[in-house]
Amino acid sequence: MTFVAINMDRLEKQPTDPAVAEQESWPMQLLTRWIALVFCLSLGACALNPDNGRLDASNDPDAKFWDGINQSDIVYVGETHDDPADHQYELELVRGLLNRKIKFALGWEMFDQTQQNWIDAWESHSISLNEMLTKTGFDKGWGVYSPLYAQILQLTGKARVKNVALNAAPELVKKIARGTPLSIREQAMLPDGFVSNEQAFNHFLGMMGGHPGLSEADQRRFFAAQNAWDQTMASRILEFKRRTPNVKLVVFTGRGHVSDGYGIPFYVKQKADFRQLILMPKGRLDLSPGQKAI
C-alpha cells in the first residue's frame, strides 16, 4: 500500500492577496470547457508530488499507516473519480476503520449541502438507500463511476457512521463561473472569512495546464468557482468538527481539491489547527495484478 501524507503544520503560510473575480460576460463554450477541465483534474490529469511531509507507506509497517490515521483529525482521500483502484482503496479504508473500531464520519464531495436532508432521512430509516440515491441524483451522476460508492454507503449505514454532504450546489458554482450575479439567497450559501492568494491562484492555473483560449478574466472566474467548491467543503468540515470534535472525519474528494495541500485543507487551516492527513491512493496503473489497494 502506498500513500502520500502532507503535514499541514509544515505548509508554509503565504501572504494573503484575495483574488478578484471579474464580472465580464463570456462565451458559454468557455464555461463548458472549464467544467470539463476541472473535472479532469480528478480524472487523472494531474500527478501529485507533494514536497511537504512526504511519506511512503511501502517503506513503513502497516502499524505506522494506521497510527497516522489515528493521530489525524481529518483524513482526505484524493481520488481519481473514474479509477476503480481508488474506489477499492476507499472501500478497504472504511473496512479497516470499522474493523479497528475507530470512531469516524464520512464526508462526501459527491453530495452537496442541499442534499443533507435526504442523507439524514436515509440514516434515520425514513427512506431506503436506493430512494436516497435517486432523490439526490447520485444514481445517475456520481454513481455511474463505481458501484463501490453504494457499497461504502451500505457499510456506513449498517455501522451507524454519519455521512456528511460537503459540496456547494452545482448551479451556484456554474453561476459564479459564468459571472452571473447571485441572488441574496445564493450569496448567503457562500461561506465567508476565507482568504485566497496569488500562490493558490497560480497553483490552480498549473493544475489546469495551458489553455490559450482563456483570458485572465476567465481564469479568475473559474478560480472563484473552484474556491466556492473548496471553501464550502472546508466550511462544512469545520462545522462538523465543531459539533463533534471527538469524531474523525474522513473526506472523499477529487485530487484537485487537495493537491499539494491547497484547496480544502488550505482553507480549513485558516480557521482551525486540526491535524490533517492527505492520502493519495495508488492508481490503476500502479497496482500489480491481484495487489490490494490498501
pTM higher than 0.85: no
Q: Cα(15)–Cα(198) distance, rounded to whole angstroms? A: 9
Q: Which residues of 107-131 are buried (b: 16+ CB within 10 A; e: fewer)?
A: bbbbbbbbbbebbeebbeeebeeee
What would the grid cell of residue 137 be? 441524483
β-pair type (248-254, 276-279): unpaired
Half-sphere exposure of 245 (CA within 13 A, CB side): 4
Q: Cα(168)–Cα(136) distance, rounded to whole angstroms? A: 14
Query: Where along the chain do its domains lie?
Result: 8-279
| Tens place of pLDDT per residue across the chain (294 aa) | 333 343 333 233 333 333 323 333 333 344 433 433 443 333 333 333 333 333 333 344 588 899 999 999 999 999 999 899 999 999 999 999 999 999 999 999 999 999 999 999 999 999 999 999 999 999 999 998 899 999 999 999 999 999 999 999 999 999 999 999 999 999 999 999 999 999 999 999 888 876 667 888 999 999 999 999 999 999 999 999 999 999 999 999 999 999 899 999 999 999 999 999 999 887 554 444 444 444
Q: Which fold has domain 8-279?
A: Rossmann fold (3.40.50)
